[in-house]
Each structure stands twice: as structure tokens, then as C-alpha cells.
């Protein structure tokens, strides 16, 4: 009956406006043929760009889909774009077909009804997704409800140049102590940069006594009290930073260059495999290793979402599904390519992929899944916005 | 009977009207959008105005005073220094050998994109940069770079240096073009015969005639330096950044209401530029009077050797800095591991080129199509205007000249966002055509500037002779004037293509991310700071901007190989 219904819909002239139904995957595949997907994703990392190029080549070969990587400086550009289109009444054939997204941008788009879905849990490869131990159904505490599909796991690690800083540091306070004896050898990307804000959140999670408050939206009563240890900490740390905190790197990858130039010895990363990949690409010295904090570090999944007005929803879903496939996940985890953690439950995979994942050499600077320790949940996105704002007021305009 | 050209009925001036529309339409529409959003009217974000809320929010931003101060300080200083260097160079060295060597480097320098030049300069002067590496550790004793705020310093000195290095070649080119129109040689000889020093003689006799001809380009440099985004992001301070950078940051905020804040800031930026231009005009007036006073005193200022040396010194340093910075980036694009304090990489590899060149090549096509289309449309409009003016005996008034410069004098951040919203409501944003028309706005002024002189100085007696032999106006235009002006037309095209290739904000905002050029790719990569990839893009960008200049030299030499007088523009 359902198939007949879709057949009826298919022959009706207004079928073009009907959204594809992910439950009928064959129909999705048929509709996707020949479509072009504009994937808006941050373009500042050469490794990611190369991976997306490979994805595009595979999709062209298998499904006759053209994948265009629209390289953003800032993911918010894509969000703004869709919002602008909606307010201009452009409800079909929008410029954005797929966005690499998470956190505040997802929360904003979801609450403004700018997303197509739910589709994620109907994708064929969702069956392998590790929903038990990985936070694939929540994004910064906001339920995803199938409106975005995961494709990589991220967790905070610290990259250290063992020539200058041989031992790991166990906590944010240990980091401060080390900075006291080695002033000018650490910095973090300038908030509101995503990774810079992540550093602030990591510090907050490690320092605050009230971690339960972080799971809920910021409340005016508790904000000052909960965030006080963070500002106290930063007041101590800032003069000990690279350039005395008077200048900051403008993005995560800039830190790699700083370590390579031997300007700093320690930097934060949101990808456990980034250091190994960067070593392979000559972007980091071979002496770099990574560590996590004793209490654990925050982690989350990177997702892709499809805007409500995309003109290529079927093909966009095929891209999302391919990103979830064991083949793509294996390649993404290879440090020679990307070094991103997989979102799949490796034990549930077909045997040949299980061995392939086990045989994968994670690279000299990547911690094994056991050594990555406890994954702490992200605070609610409202915390991110709030502390980034206060950071700017306190340290961002000080000169 | 065939009437002489000027007596024939003439069609209405469609081309000048079209040109004006293409030039000013987008700017005016964009400004309107910015004004509305700046006063709190932004239906897209659910705001309806008018209200002064965005302006109040802007004033409440704690960084506003230092950001404004930075914009004024860096823009003003960069313009002043650039102009001074050009004056010293031309006054002290015109006609000498070192001057000719500098001139030969002009085109390559102009074709280096601003962002690439800034990155190269940064690698040169930062504490872990090439200069420090060259001196370490044998001289400085550094085995790791010192923690010095040399780049992104709060005073914006690195930013000023970067701007000066790029603006000196531009002003020099403009000055040389203007010098041809005022017999500077004769003036200088008279002054020298009266015993004046080289520089004083030039300042007293040539500059007063020259300055009115380069005044508008100087204003362009001032407006540009005050509102530059890409260079400021790389070399400028960021706690807080100059106002223009902060505007772009607010534009990129996920919260659409921040757009109104950004628009209010853009209006403040516009007001800043207008005030700075007014101040500059006043300063011109005062300086003119002081100079006249000094001239009347009759002092010869003959001992100006040190000043000449200083001028040549700064000029050479800025040229060498850009070239060395570019060389640094080229080396980076082939570098394997390269750590401090090694002067050269451990090994050379083609890996970066293998990785980065294919995606770069993919955008090459779009970049060239946009540049060629904008240039071609611009060329038809510009020559159409010039020919119409010629046939109707019109002269571009001072006010007309100002109109021509409007797109270059108004900060891009002030009208591009409004233009984007406008195009969106017509449903043509994000298309190749929209981007071509956005580029046209910036290409037109440069085409006009490059063509005006050669076109007007063409000897019209040749037309009279041809008309006497029965040639129609059209035939004179197509068969005589255009071919004879081949060299300057090609040079103008090369300038226009370089301008189009370098456009970042117009391509990004109007293209909606769908239209990607080498420059948008390069800037996206720049946010990641990967020097190797930036090196690849910088080389390609410079090459694609340089190629038309090379063609502009080669084609006339080939076509007019037996007509010596026609080979040069």
C-alpha cells in the first residue's frame, strides 16, 4: 500500500515539492541520481577538505551525485544563509543542502524550524551507530531527534611537545602551575572561536564544583556562582599566556603552526587523531604527543544536517548515509587521512571491517580508546554563548 | 552627402547611463539596506524599526573606543607614510637607475594579493620568522623564539607596515601615470637651474600640479586602509580588532539580530571614513599654505641627500619585504618538516602541491570566467562612455570623477551586506551573474582610470584626416582608434582582471558561498593558517593576476612588431 501511495505521489505533477521519505531508501537512491549537494563545511583544515573531496569522488562513482564542498570560514555563515532565505521566502532550492554542524548552531536551526527531518535514524547505516556509549542522540544536551546525522566523534585532548613538556598534566590547575614556571608557552584560540570556547568549557567543567548546573540552561541565580572559579582561573592564567594574552591564535589549526615554530609547547585539540595526522603532514614535530585530564575531558559528535529548503534532500541523505558507512568511517579514523573517532559500534560491524578497524595504526600521538578515559558531557549551549560573551568583555577588548 | 561626425544626429547616451547604473545602483541599494538594518529595521531577523537600539548596543560594546581608534590610527598612518615614501622616491630618484629597477618590479608587486602579501610579511617578521631564523641561534642566542608581540601588536604597527608595503606600488603607478600629463621634467630642470635641492625643487614645482591628479587615488588608499578586512585579520591586533574586522565577525554571528549591530557599526565606519577624508582635505589646505610660505622664503634645501637615501631605503625595504615574503611562502609550499630555527626545510616535497593544486584548479575556471566577463562588460561600458563623451565634446567634471570613485571610497562593509539582501529578494544572488555584476562595480573605476589618459591624449587630427577621406565615425573608431590604443586597452584589462581576481568580500557575500574563486578559497584556508597550502594558493593567485600583465606587454609587441610607436601604452 505504502509503495503504491508513493507511486501515486511520484506521478503527480506536484511530486517535485514532496520531500523524499528516508524509509523508502530505494526511492531516495533513485531520486538522488544526478543531484548536486552543496555541503557547507568549515574549510580551514586541509585534511578535512581532502576527505570531503574523496567522499565526493566516491558518491559520483556509486550514486551519480555531485558533491560540492562550500568551504566556510565560519559555520554560522551557512545558518545565516538559510535564515535569510527563509525570511526572503525562498522555501525551495536553497543554497545549502548539507551543513557540518553541532552545538549552538544546531540548537538555533532546530528551534527555528530550519531543518529537514527526522531522517537520521532511518538511514541504512544507522544500524551500526553506537548509540549505547556515544552521545549520538544529544548534541550539547539538546535532543537530536533525527534532525542531524553523526559522522565523527570529537573529544578534547591536549597536544604537548615532549621535547619541552615531557609529562602529561592531570588537571586545569596542573596546567596553571606549569604555566607559572613556563610563562608564554601556552595559548588557546580566541573565543568566540569554537575551539577557544571549548577550552573555556573544559576549564569550567574541570574547575566547577556544581557540574549538574551545567547540564541545564544558564540561570541568572547560579551563573555567577558556577562560573566564578573559571574567571578566577583565567585571571591567573592570562598574563602567563603566549604574548601575555595580548594576542591569540584565530583558529585551532593556527596552534599547530605555533607548536611547529616552537612558539608554544601545549595546545588544545578537539580531535584525538589530529596530532598524528598533523605529524604525518609535517605540520607538527614528531615529538608531539597527546593527553587527557584525570577527571576526563568533554566530547561530542560532529553531525550533518539538511536545511528545510534544500533542493537535493535525497542526495544529501545519501551523503549522510555514506559518511556513516564502515568504509567512510574507517577512512576518517585513519590518521594518515583525518584521524577522527568513529561513531560506529565496531563490534557490530561485518567481520572484515572489525579486523580493519583493529588493524588500523592510530599513529604515534593518538591515544587508544581506553586511554582516552571518561568522556564528559558538553554543557548546555547557553553556557557556551554566555561565557564566550563574558570572555570577550573581560579579555577580548583589553588593550 | 556624408556629414562630419559631430553634425550627425546622435543616439541618447545609453552607455553612460548604463555605466552609472552599474556603478552606483548596487552601492546606493546596499547603503540603503545597511541604513535600515543599522536603525533596527531588519524584517529577516524579526526586527522592525526605526530604533536606535543597535546604535546603543554598539556604544555599549566595551571595545568600541579602541576599535575606532585603531581604524583611524592604522589607516591614517599607512596613507601618510605611503604618500611620503612615494613623494621621496619620485622626487629624489625619478630618472635614475635604481628608480628604473623599482619600476620594473611594480607589476609583479601589484599582482600579489593583499592577503598573501600579509602572510608572507608575517612569516618574515614574527619572532619565529625568517629574519629571526637567519640570525638564530648564532647571533641572537635564541634556540626558541622570544615571546615578543611583533605581529598583531596593539598599536597596529605590523598592520601599518603591511599596508604601506602594498600601497606604495599602487600610488607609485598612479603617480607615474599623472606625471606624464604635467611635464615634470621641465619643471624639475628649472628648479635645479635655480639651485634647489632635488626634493625641494620637486615639491615646490611638480607636486602642486601633480597632487590634484592623484588626490582621489590617495583618498582611495585612505578609505581602503581604514576599512581593510583581510590584511587586518592577519597582521592586525585582535583584542580588540579594528572596527572593520569586528563588523565581519558580527555579520557571521549565528544570531541574526547581530546583523543590525554589524550594520550600525558599518554606518559608524562610513562616518569615520568621511570624517577622515574631510580631515585629510583640511590638512592638504594647511600643508599647501605652509609649503607656499616656505617656497617664498627662497631656501634652496640643497643638502637633501639623507632624505633621498631614506626614501629609497624605505621603498627598497617594502619591495624586498613583499618579494621575500612571497618567496617564503613558495618555499613553504614545497616544505616537508620545517621547525624553528632552521632557515630552510629539512626536505622538499611535492605533497602539498599534490593535495592543494587540484581543488585550486577547480576554482580557476570560475575565477577566470568572472574576471573576463566583468572586464569585458566593463570595457564596453567604459569605451562606450569615453567615445560618447568624445563625440559630444563632454568632459568629465570633478563631480563626475567623484561618482566614479564612490565604490572605492565607501567601505565595502557598509554596502555589501545590504546589496546581498537586495539581490536575495530578486532571487539572483548566489549566481555567477550576480558575482560578475558585483565585481563590475569595482572593476569599472579602475578601467576608467587606466583608459582615460590614453584615450583623451589620442591625436584627433588622425580622425580628421580619416573623416576627410570619407571614413564614418564608426569606422574611425573601429579601424583607427581602437587598434592604435591596443596597448593601453590591454593594460587596462590586466589591471581590471587583477582587481576582479582579488575581490574577497563581494564574492563571498554576493556569491552566497556557491560561487568560489581562488581568493575565497585562499581566505578560507587562511583561517586555518596552514602556510603550505596558503603558499600554493598565493602562487596561483599571483600567477593568474600576473599573466594578463604579461600578455598586455607581449601582444602589442607582436601585433605591432613593425610599428614601433604603437607598442607601448
Among candidates A40, A74, A397 on the partner chain, residue whose Cβ is nearest the Cβ of B240: A397
**Bridge partners of residue A303, in order along the sequence:** A101, A150
Please state, in angstroms and as integers, the Cα–Cα distance from residue A144 to each residue in A103, A149, B284, following that order: 10, 8, 62
Q: Which three cell numbers stand for residue B150?
A: 611583533
Q: Cβ atoms within 10 A of the Cβ of A331, count?
A: 18
| Contact between chains at A77 and B252 (C-beta distance less than 8 A) | yes
d(CA A28, CA A116): 14
Q: Is B252 within 8 Å of A76 when comparing Cβ atoms?
A: yes
For residues A158-170, give the mean pLDDT: 95
What's the CA gap between B514 and B536, in Å, rounded?
22
Selection from A247, A48, A2 nearest residue A152 by Cα: A48
In a domain, A20, yes or no: no
A12 in a structural domain: no
* Cβ within 8 Å, pair B529-A53: no
Count of Cβ atoms closer than 10 Å to residue B323 Cβ: 16
Most confident of A105-109, A145-149, B48-52, B212-216: A145-149
Q: Whole-angstrom Cα distance, residue B261 to residue B251?
A: 9
Task: Specify the 3-state DSSP secondary structure of A158.
Answer: strand
CA A344 vs CA A62, A122, A331, B74: distances in Å:
22, 15, 13, 52
DSSP-derived letter for residue A167 is S
Query: What residue has cell string 524584517?
Result: B43
Flag if B237 and A46 touch (Cβ within 8 Å). no
Cβ-based contacts of B43 with chain A (< 8 Å): 87
- Tell me what pLDDT residue B362 has: 79
Evaluate whether B523 touches B230 at the Cβ level (below 8 Å): yes
What is chain B's length?
Answer: 569
Using a CB-CB cut-off of 8 Å, the residues of chain B touching A263 are 127-128, 144-145, 147, 340
pLDDT interval class at A179 (50, 70, 90): very high
Is A3 domain-assigned? no
Q: Could you tell me the residue range of the domain that residue A294 belongs to?
A: 155-298+376-395
**Residues A108, A140: one domain?**
yes
Number of domains chain A contains: 2
What is residue B44's predicted lDDT score, i.e. its pLDDT?
64
User: Residue A143 phi/psi, 5° resolution?
Assistant: -60, 135
Q: How close is the nearest chain B Cα to the Cα of A188, in Å?
A: 14
DSSP H or E stretch at residue B373: helix B351-392
Report d(CA A157, CA A153) in Å as an integer.
12
Q: What is the pLDDT of residue A27?
A: 94
Pick from B70, B71, B74, B103: which is nearest to B86 by CA?
A: B103
Q: Domain for residue A64, yes or no?
A: yes
Residue A307 CB-density burial (10 A; 0-12 exposed, 13-18 middle, 19+ buried): buried
Cis peptide before A140 (omega within 30 of 0): no
Name the grid cell of B28. Answer: 546606493
Residue B474 has pLDDT above 80, yes or no: yes
Contact A260 B338 (CB under 8 A): yes
Cβ atoms within 10 Å of B405's Cβ, excluding its own: 18
Residues A190 and A285 reside in one and the same domain: yes
Q: Do A397 and B253 touch (CB under 8 A)?
A: no
Say which residue, A288 or A300, is predicted with more confidence: A288
> Residue B404 contacts by C-beta under 8 Å, 6 or more apart in sequence?
B23, B396, B444, B445, B448, B449
The residues pairing with A302 across neighbouring beta strands, listed in sequence order, are: A152
Would you state the pLDDT for residue B403?
Answer: 84
B459 in A contact zone (CB under 8 Å)? no
Per CB-CB distance under 8 Å, the chain A contacts of B339 are 260-262, 285
Q: In chain B, positions 108-137, which contact chain A (CB-CB < 8 Å)?
A: 126-128
Residues B391-402 pLDDT 10s: 887 777 777 778
Q: With beta carbons under 8 A apart, name residues in chain A contacting B151.
A: 247
A44 to chain B, minimum CA–CA distance in Å? Answer: 4
CB–CB of A357/A351 below 8 Å? no
B153: nearest CA partner in chain A: A247
* Beta-carbon count within 10 A of A12 CB: 11
**Cα gap B141→B458, rounded to integer Å:** 63
Which residues face B136 on adjacent strands? none
Q: Do A108 and B151 touch (CB under 8 A)?
A: no
Q: Is residue A381 part of a domain?
A: yes
Minimal-distance CA residue of chain A relative to B46:
A87
B333: Cβ–Cβ under 8 A, 6 or more apart, which residues? Answer: B352, B353, B356, B532, B533, B535, B536, B539
Chain B CB contacts of A67 below 8 Å: none
Report the gap between the CA of A223 and the closest CA in chain B (Å): 21
Any domain includes A5: no
Look-up of cell digits 615614501: B85
pLDDT digits (tens, 9 = 90+) for B266-325: 999 999 999 999 999 999 999 999 988 988 888 888 778 888 899 899 888 988 999 999
| Chain A touched by B238 (CB under 8 Å) | yes
Residues A278 and A339 in one domain: no
Residue B57 clears pLDDT 80, i.e. is over it: yes
Q: Are residues A277 and A189 in the same domain?
A: yes
Classified as helix, coil or strand, A160 is strand
Q: What is the DSSP letter of A54?
A: H
DSSP for B230-290?
A: HHHHHHS--SSPPHHHHHHHHHT-SSTTHHHHHHHHHHHHHHHHHHHHHHHHHHHHHHHHH
**B338–A77 CB contact, under 8 Å:** no
Q: Which helix (H) or strand (E) holds B312?
A: helix B305-333
Q: Is B566 a residue whose pLDDT tops 80? A: no
Give the burial string for A235-259 (b: 16+ CB within 10 Å, else e). Answer: eebeebbbbebbbbbbbbbbbbbbb
C-alpha cell recorded at residue B7: 553634425
User: Does an H or E element contain A262, and which?
Assistant: none
Same domain flag for A165 and A103: no
Cα A169 to Cα A157, A160, A290, A296: the distances in Å are: 11, 10, 10, 12
Bridge partners for A149 per DSSP:
A304
Which three three-digit cell numbers place residue B147? 615571546
Q: Is residue A200 part of a domain?
A: yes
CB contacts, 8 Å: A247 with chain B: 149, 151-153, 237-239
* Pairwise CB contact (< 8 Å): B256 & A80: yes
Using CA atoms, how far apart are residues A180 and B518, in angstroms rounded to an integer? 44
Q: How far apart are the first and last CA of chain A?
A: 69
Give the residue on B whose Cα is nearest the Cα of A71: B524
Confidence of residue A15 (pLDDT cuts 50, 70, 90): very low
Beta pairing partners, A304: A100, A149
- Distance between CA atoms of residues B549 and A202, nearest Å: 53
B298 inside 8 A of chain A by CB: no
B393 Cβ neighbours under 8 A, 6+ residues apart: B6
Q: Which three cell numbers, joined as nine digits, stand for B151? A: 605581529
pLDDT of B11 higher than 80: no
Could you give the ipTM of this predicted complex? Answer: 0.82
Widest CA span in chain B: 88
Contacts of A44 in chain B (CB under 8 A): 524-525, 527-530
Q: Which residue of A has its CA nearest to B234?
A: A250
d(CA A273, CA A271): 5
A113 with A81, same domain: the answer is yes
Check CB contact under 8 Å for B513 and A393.
Answer: no
Q: Is B349 on the interface with A (CB under 8 A)?
A: yes
Cell for A27? 526511492
Q: Are residues A390 and A307 in the same domain?
A: no
* Minimal Cβ distance to A83: which of B251, B256, B355: B256
| Contact check, Cβ <8 Å, B128/A263 | yes
Instruction: Label residue B429 by pLDDT band (50, 70, 90).
Output: low
Chain B contact set for A286 (CB, 8 A):
337
Predicted pLDDT at A1: 45
Check pLDDT > 50 for residue A290.
yes
Out of A88, A242, A243, name the one closest to residue B425 (CB): A88
Alpha-carbon torsion A196, A202, A205, A206, what sign? negative
CB–CB contact A90 B424 (8 Å): yes
CB contact B56 to A (< 8 Å): no
Residues in chain A: 399
Report helix, strand or coil for A392.
helix
Q: Determine whether the interchain pair B520/A70 forms a contact, defined as Cβ–Cβ distance below 8 Å.
A: no
Average pLDDT over residues B36-46: 77
What's the distance, CA A69 to chain centroid? 16
- Tell me the chain B residues in contact with residue A84 when contact means C-beta distances shorter than 8 Å: 44, 256, 421, 424
Maximum distance among all Cα pairs of chain A, rounded to whole angstroms: 73
Q: Is B524 on the interface with A (CB under 8 A)?
A: yes
Q: What is the pLDDT of residue B19?
A: 84
Which of A11-25, A206-220, B348-362 has the least mean pLDDT? A11-25
Both A233 and A338 in a single domain? no
User: A324 and A259 share a domain?
Assistant: no
Q: How far is B362 from chain A (nearest CA, A)?
A: 11
Interface test with A, best of B68, B236, B530 (most A CBs within 10 A): B530
Q: Kindly report, residue by residue over B490-516, the tens digit of the pLDDT.
A: 988 988 998 898 888 888 878 876 788
A279, A47 Cβ separation under 8 angstroms? no
The pLDDT, as a whole number, for residue B80 is: 96
Chain B residues with CB under 8 Å of A164 CB are 144
The answer to whether the beta carbons of residues A341 and A273 sit under 8 Å apart is yes
User: What are the pLDDT digits (tens) for A59-97?
Assistant: 999 999 999 998 887 787 788 788 878 877 888 888 899
Collapsing DSSP states into helix, strand and coil, what is residue A397? coil
A339 and A201 within one domain: no
In a domain, A8, yes or no: no
Q: Name the residue in chain B with its Cα closest to that of A254.
A: B529
Mean pLDDT of the residues in chain B: 85
For residues A268 and A388, state if they share a domain.
yes
* Through-space distance between the first and last CA atoms of chain B, rounded to whole angstroms: 37
Residue A391 CA, chain-centre distance (Å), reads 22
Chain A residues near residue B259 by CB distance under 8 angstroms: 80
pLDDT at B427 exceeding the cut of 80 = no
* Cα angle value A126/A346/A152 (rounded, 5°): 60
pLDDT for the residue numbered A200:
96
Is the CB of B359 inside 8 Å of chain A's CB atoms? yes
Q: Do B44 and A84 touch (CB under 8 A)?
A: yes
The residue in chain B having the minimum alpha-carbon distance to the alpha carbon of residue A186 is B147
Asked if pLDDT for residue B116 goes beyond 90, the answer is no
- pLDDT digit string, tens, across residues A116-128: 989 999 999 999 9
Q: Are residues A90 and A192 in the same domain?
A: no
The CA-CA-CA angle for residues B552, B556, B557, to 5°, reads 110
- CATH code for the domain in which residue A339 is found: 3.40.190.10
Return the SS3 of A297. Answer: strand
B170: nearest Cα among B247, B83, B233? B83
What residue has cell string 573608431? B477
Amino acid at each position: 500500500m505504502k509503495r503504491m501511495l508513493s507511486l501515486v505521489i511520484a506521478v503527480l505533477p506536484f511530486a517535485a515539492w514532496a520531500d523524499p521519505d528516508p524509509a523508502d531508501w530505494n526511492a531516495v537512491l533513485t531520486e538522488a541520481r544526478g543531484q548536486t549537494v552543496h555541503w557547507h563545511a568549515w574549510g580551514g583544515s586541509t585534511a578535512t577538505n581532502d576527505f570531503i573531496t574523496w567522499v565526493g569522488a566516491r558518491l559520483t562513482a556509486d550514486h551519480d551525485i555531485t558533491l560540492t564542498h562550500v568551504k566556510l570560514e565560519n559555520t554560522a555563515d551557512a545558518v545565516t544563509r538559510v535564515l535569510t532565505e527563509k525570511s526572503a521566502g525562498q522555501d525551495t532550492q536553497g543554497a545549502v543542502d548539507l551543513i557540518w554542524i553541532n552545538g549552538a548552531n544546531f540548537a538555533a536551526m532546530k528551534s527555528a524550524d530550519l531543518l529537514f527531518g527526522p531522517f537520521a535514524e532511518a538511514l541504512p547505516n544507522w544500524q551500526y551507530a553506537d548509540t549505547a556509549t556515544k552521545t549520538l542522540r544529544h548534541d550539547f544536551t539538546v535532543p537530536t531527534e533525527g534532525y542531524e546525522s553523526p559522522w565523527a566523534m570529537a573529544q578534547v585532548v591536549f597536544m604537548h611537545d615532549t621535547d619541552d613538556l615531557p609529562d602529561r598534566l592531570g588537571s586545569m590547575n596542573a596546567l596553571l602551575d606549569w604555566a607559572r614556571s613556563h610563562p608564554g608557552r601556552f595559548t588557546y584560540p580566541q573565543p568566540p572561536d569554537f575551539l577557544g570556547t571549548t577550552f573555556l568549557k573544559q576549564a569550567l567543567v574541570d574547575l566547577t564544583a556544581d557540574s549538574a548546573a551545567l547540564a541545564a540552561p544558564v540561570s541568572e541565580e547560579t551563573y555567577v556562582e558556577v562560573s566564578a572559579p573559571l574567571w578566577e582561573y583565567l585571571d591567573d592564567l592570562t598574563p602567563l599566556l603566549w604574548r601575555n594574552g595580548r594576542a591569540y591564535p584565530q583558529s585551532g589549526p593556527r596552534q599547530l603552526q605555533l607548536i611547529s615554530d616552537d612558539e608554544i609547547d601545549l595546545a588544545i585539540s578537539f580531535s584525538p587523531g589530529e596530532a598524528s595526522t598533523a605529524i604525518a603532514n609535517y605540520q607538527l614535530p614528531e615529538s608531539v604527543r597527546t593527553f587527557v585530564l584525570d577527571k576526563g575531558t568533554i566530547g561530542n559528535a560532529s553531525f550533518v544536517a539538511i536545511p528545510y529548503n534544500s533542493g537535493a534532500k535525497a542526495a544529501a541523505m545519501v551523503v549522510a548515509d555514506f559518511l556513516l558507512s564502515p568504509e567512510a568511517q574507517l577512512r576518517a579514523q585513519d590518521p594518515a587521512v583525518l584521524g577522527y573517532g568513529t561513531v560506529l559500534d565496531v563490534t557490530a560491524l561485518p567481520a572484515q571491517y572489525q579486523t580493519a578497524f583493529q588493524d588500523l595504526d592510530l599513529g604515534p600521538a593518538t591515544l587508544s580508546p581506553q586511554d582516552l578515559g571518561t568522556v564528559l558531557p558538553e554543557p548546555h549551549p547557553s553556557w557556551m554563548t554566555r561565557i564566550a560573551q563574558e570572555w570577550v568583555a573581560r579579555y577580548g577588548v583589553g588593550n | 552627402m556624408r556629414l562630419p561626425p559631430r553634425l550627425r544626429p546622435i543616439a541618447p547616451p545609453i552607455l553612460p547611463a548604463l555605466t552609472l547604473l552599474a556603478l552606483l545602483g548596487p552601492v546606493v541599494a546596499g547603503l540603503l539596506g545597511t541604513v535600515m538594518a543599522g536603525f533596527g529595521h531588519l524584517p529577516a531577523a524579526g526586527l522592525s524599526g526605526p530604533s536606535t537600539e543597535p546604535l546603543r548596543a554598539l556604544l555599549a560594546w566595551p571595545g568600541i573606543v579602541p576599535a575606532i581608534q585603531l581604524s583611524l590610527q592604522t589607516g591614517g598612518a599607512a596613507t601618510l607614510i605611503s604618500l611620503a615614501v612615494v613623494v621621496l622616491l619620485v622626487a629624489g630618484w625619478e630618472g635614475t637607475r635604481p628608480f628604473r629597477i623599482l619600476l620594473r618590479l611594480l607589476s609583479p608587486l601589484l599582482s600579489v594579493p593583499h592577503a598573501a602579501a600579509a602572510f608572507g610579511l608575517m612569516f618574515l617578521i614574527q619572532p619565529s620568522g625568517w629574519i629571526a631564523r637567519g640570525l638564530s641561534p648564532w647571533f641572537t642566542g635564541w634556540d626558541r623564539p622570544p615571546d615578543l608581540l611583533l605581529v598583531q601588536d596593539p598599536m597596529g604597527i605590523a598592520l601599518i607596515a603591511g599596508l604601506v608595503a602594498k600601497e606604495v606600488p599602487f600610488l607609485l603607478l598612479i603617480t607615474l601615470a599623472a606625471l606624464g600629463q604635467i611635464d615634470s621634467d621641465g619643471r624639475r630642470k628649472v628648479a635645479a637651474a635655480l639651485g634647489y635641492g632635488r626634493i625641494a625643487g620637486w615639491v615646490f614645482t611638480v607636486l602642486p600640479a601633480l597632487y590634484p591628479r592623484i588626490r582621489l587615488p590617495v583618498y582611495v588608499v585612505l578609505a581602503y586602509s581604514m576599512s581593510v578586512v583581510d590584511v587586518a585579520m592577519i597582521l592586525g591586533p585582535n583584542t580588540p580588532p579594528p572596527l572593520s574586522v569586528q563588523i565581519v565577525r558580527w555579520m557571521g554571528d549565528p544570531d541574526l539580530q547581530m546583523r543590525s549591530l554589524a550594520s550600525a557599526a558599518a554606518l559608524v565606519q562610513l562616518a569615520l571614513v568621511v570624517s577622515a577624508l574631510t580631515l585629510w582635505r583640511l590638512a592638504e589646505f594647511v600643508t599647501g599654505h605652509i609649503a607656499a610660505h616656505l617656497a617664498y622664503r627662497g631656501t634652496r634645501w640643497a643638502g637633501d641627500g639623507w632624505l633621498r637615501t631614506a626614501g629609497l631605503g624605505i621603498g627598497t625595504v617594502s619591495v624586498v619585504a613583499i618579494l621575500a615574503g612571497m618567496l617564503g611562502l613558495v618555499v613553504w609550499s614545497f616544505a616537508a618538516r620545517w621547525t624553528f630555527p632552521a632557515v630552510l626545510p629539512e626536505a622538499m616535497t611535492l605533497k602539498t602541491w599534490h593535495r592543494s593544486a587540484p581543488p585550486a584548479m577547480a576554482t580557476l575556471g570560475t575565477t577566470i570566467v568572472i574576471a573576463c566577463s566583468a572586464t569585458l562588460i566593463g570595457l564596453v561600458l567604459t569605451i562606450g562612455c569615453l567615445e560618447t563623451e568624445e563625440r559630444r565634446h563632454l568632459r568629465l567634471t570633478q563631480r563626475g570623477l567623484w561618482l566614479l570613485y564612490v565604490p572605492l571610497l565607501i567601505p565595502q562593509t557598509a554596502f555589501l551586506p545590504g546589496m546581498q539582501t537586495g539581490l536575495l529578494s530578486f532571487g539572483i544572488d548566489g549566481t555567477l551573474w550576480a558575482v560578475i555584476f558585483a565585481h563590475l562595480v569595482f572593476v569599472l573605476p579602475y578601467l576608467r582610470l587606466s583608459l582615460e589618459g590614453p584615450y583623451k591624449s589620442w591625436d584627433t587630427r588622425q580622425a580628421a584626416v580619416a573623416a576627410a577621406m570619407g571614413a564614418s565615425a564608426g569606422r574611425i573608431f573601429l579601424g583607427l582608434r581602437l587598434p592604435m590604443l591596443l596597448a593601453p586597452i590591454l593594460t587596462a584589462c590586466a589591471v581590471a582582471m587583477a582587481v576582479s581576481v582579488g575581490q574577497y568580500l563581494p564574492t563571498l557575500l554576493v556569491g552566497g558561498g556557491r560561487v568560489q574563486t581562488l581568493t575565497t578559497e585562499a581566505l578560507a584556508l587562511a583561517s586555518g593558517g596552514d602556510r603550505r597550502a596558503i603558499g600554493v594558493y598565493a602562487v596561483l593567485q599571483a600567477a593568474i593576476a600576473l599573466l594578463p600583465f604579461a600578455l598586455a606587454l607581449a601582444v602589442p609587441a607582436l601585433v605591432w612588431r613593425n610599428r614601433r610607436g604603437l607598442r607601448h601604452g
